[in-house]
Structure 1
């Protein structure tokens, strides 16, 4: 089952029966056990739409995110970029790496503490030799403004910024290569309640302004409700429900989705 497309345009990314299985050894006899972290997920990711991936801890959603951005090789199924299988050639990987970027859960550990904000945002452009030195610095200034940070933040190191500001730096870095899709893995869970909604609203605005595709990973279905056009509910590595957000959240077809809706407190409550 895959999320229905709202357009005939080729998806940026398409996952077909994707699998990530690990073999481990357990017990005193070292018996083999196969862990199915992702087991048969099919999904389409298009520009201008956000797919929310929700599930409890251990459901496989972060492993799925790692496959989408190329940090984890699938053990089965297909991952297509613009209708073509993602290959291992360096040219293919370079194009893929520019088009699909990631915002990690905790900006405090994801940002180099010794680098200034300017250098953190410029670093991906340096790696991909994008434009001239002047172009890259100009791009950094544009991105700071885009994510709502003052120009003075360019010379600050992460320790001199608040948690919300650090996450905005991480978002700016993810945007530096003009990606088609951003994968956001629990991007608000490490933030104070007072800034979570601000960051979520920023992501929504950026998606609309830049026509981004977005995959938003969270354990909180209420937060996913706030940001998503489509929703994939995972447990045990499998999709138990997926489809347009309005349908999944107002008329869930599985007890698991209903339990998430009933049990999870909203990260946005009280804002």
Structure 2
């Protein structure tokens, strides 16, 4: 699908004035305090495009990711899937869970240490009863090849793999159900610099080959620059700047975005 076509079709995901507010009680008198973790975020995610979400720790970007994949209920606003509000029934949540999947920050903690790579990747297919047992095993083999892992990795447990290989397994698991959108929450921050660019380039290739929508979350604006088509800059739960990546990064309009650019020397050689 061409980029022009992906821009005019209905977005796979839309967030409209999304809010997540928490009430806490602090101080000696336990005064009521409202924490606005996400406060009025609106963004669209289309097939074949990556939305980069960048901000410092505590900016609200991980809470936003959790809302997108259904791990956190919003307290206001709308989350739309193909133009319709995300359903609240178990069946609707199951359908949404197949369409939107997540790659977590640290594969070492996200992968079951007792399961083989084959079983880790096949597990989502088992949960959703996707195809026959033979079909699932065949898809596991295909996914291993797709993410650049040898067939021999199928019988390895996570402790027998390198950090980069574990993250490739996590990516393969996220692709198991043929999702439309992948949410990647700091997927390279736990990796050595030497393999970080390899994993980023793999995600770029997969997005293009599979026509995926992607939400890529990072505190490093230079990493976001490398992978994103559009960028959302967050601080204090709010969007302070958003738009096409080239525009936001070439001509930032806020001091906050400029400070992120100054504070993050590139670890990737980009052109």
TM-score bucket (shorter structure): over 0.9
Aligned to 1:139: 139
Tell me the equivalent position of 2:212: 212
TM-score of the aligned structures, taking structure 1 as reference length = 0.97
The separation in 2 between residues aligned to 1:179 and 1:215, in whole angstroms, is 13
Q: CA deviation digits over 1:134-193, x for unaligned, max 9?
A: 000000000000000000000000000000000000000000000000000000000001
Q: Summarize the alignment of residues 31-180 of structure 1 with structure 2, pairs less than 5 Å apart.
A: 31-180=31-180
In 2, Cα distance between equivalents of 1:228 and 1:8:
19
Answering whether residue 258 of structure 2 is matched by residue 230 of structure 1, we say no
Contact 2:6 2:47 in 1 (8 A): no
Q: Give, in whole Å, the separation in 1 of the partners of 2:115 and 2:222.
A: 35
Question: Partner of 1:22 in structure 2?
Answer: 22
* C-alpha displacement of 1:87: 1.4
Name the SS of the counterpart of 1:149 in structure 2: coil
Distance 1:254 1:129 in 2: 48
- TM-aligned CA deviation for residue 50 of structure 1: 0.2
Q: Structure 1 regions of 5+ residues with no counterpart?
A: none
Secondary structure of residue in 2 paired with 1:144? helix
Residue by residue, what CA displacement relative to the aligned partner does 1:219-247 show, whole Å, maximum 9, x if unpaired? Answer: 00000000000000000000000000000
Q: Quote the offset at 1:90 in angstroms.
A: 1.2
Please give the alpha-carbon distance, in whole angstroms, between the structure 1 residues aligned to 2:148 and 2:8: 34
Residues 163, 191 of structure 1: 8 Å contact kept: yes
Q: CA deviation at 1:36?
A: 0.1
Deviation at 1:28, TM superposition (A): 1.3
* SS in structure 2 of the partner of residue 7 of structure 1: helix
Structure 2 CA distance for aligned equivalents of residues 6 and 209 of structure 1: 14
Determine the C-alpha separation between the residues in 1 that align with 2:232 and 2:62: 13
Which secondary structure does the structure 2 equivalent of 1:40 belong to?
Answer: strand
Structure 2 unaligned segments of length 5 or more: list them: none
Return the TM-score normalized by structure 2. Answer: 0.97
Structure 1 outlier segments of 4+, above 3 Å: none
Query: Contact 2:12 / 2:81 at 8 angstroms: preserved in 1?
Result: yes
Checking the alignment, whether the CA contact within 8 Å between 1:111 and 1:158 is kept in structure 2 is yes
Q: Alignment length, in residue pairs?
A: 266
